[in-house]
Amino acid sequence: MYDLTRDVMGTNTSYTDYEEYKIGMMMEAVVFPILLILGLPGNILTFLVMMKARNRQLSYCWYLAALVASDTAMLTFNLIFWISSVSGYRFTNAVCKGFAVLFYWFSTNSICLIVCLTIGRYMANKHPQQYETIGTPEVARIVIFVVAVLTFTFNVPMYFRNYVPETKGSQSCEAYTNPSKAFAAYSLQYGALKGSCTQ
């Protein structure tokens, strides 16, 4: 199992001894609350503006609203992890695994929604006739739903990749660093996909 306090490559030092690690932990304690204080209200206001009746007629407003919702969820999960690290709360294995799936789902979903929004804007500028048929709010809602399902499916293996170490005093939710354990779930997912595509 992976442990931050273990010996690093036989040097009798641990990851926590490095200055970079200490600086990173200080930045997390200071920067994250600032991002949270600015980010959550900003995201909520943006979502309310995008969902006004006039804006719901525009496909890109649907993409932006979905992006804001996904980012807000990711910020909320970051808040939970931050509070747990500050308070010393120890996650159960199931909670750690569930949070990992949801956190990475929202993160991947946000990236894919940005790509969809970019493609939509490209189509509107370069191919306006074709955009009239695919740039509707109905198509945007379908694309948002399909992206959400695909990104969730892609991140289900995170459930099997993350764990709470059994090291005494460890508070963190970590990922396996052993490639055979870390990527075994992805191998199963790939095998299932490959089998369904060849039938």
Spatial distance between the Cα atoms of 70 and 43, rounded to a whole number of angstroms: 10
Look over the chain and give the mean of its residue pLDDT values, rounded to a whole number: 79
Spatial distance between the Cα atoms of 77 and 63, rounded to a whole number of angstroms: 21
What are the CA-CA distances from residue 189 to residues 31, 119, 153 (Å)?
36, 28, 9
Homologous superfamily (CATH) of 19-198 is Rhodopsin 7-helix transmembrane proteins (1.20.1070.10)
The total of other beta-carbon atoms located within 10 Å of residue 159's CB is: 17
Spatial distance between the Cα atoms of 61 and 21, rounded to a whole number of angstroms: 40
Q: What is the mean predicted confidence (pLDDT) over 46-51? A: 94
Of the pLDDT bands very low, low, confident and very high (cuts 50, 70, 90), residue 37 is: confident
Of the pLDDT bands very low, low, confident and very high (cuts 50, 70, 90), residue 178 is: low
Q: What b/e readout covers 162-187, taking b as 16+ CB neighbours within 10 angstroms?
A: bbbbeeeebebbbebeeeeebbebee
At 184, which helix (H) or strand (E)?
A: helix 184-198
* Domain ranges within the chain, ordered by starting residue: 19-198
Residue 2 has what pLDDT? Answer: 39
Phi-psi region of 34 (alpha: psi -120 to 50; beta: other; left: phi over 0): alpha
Residue 187 has what pLDDT? Answer: 58
- Give yes or no for residue 52 having a pLDDT over 90: yes
pLDDT tens readout for residues 94-115: 888 888 889 889 999 999 999 9
Q: What is the mean predicted confidence (pLDDT) over 72-91? A: 80
- Give yes or no for residue 41 having a pLDDT over 50: yes
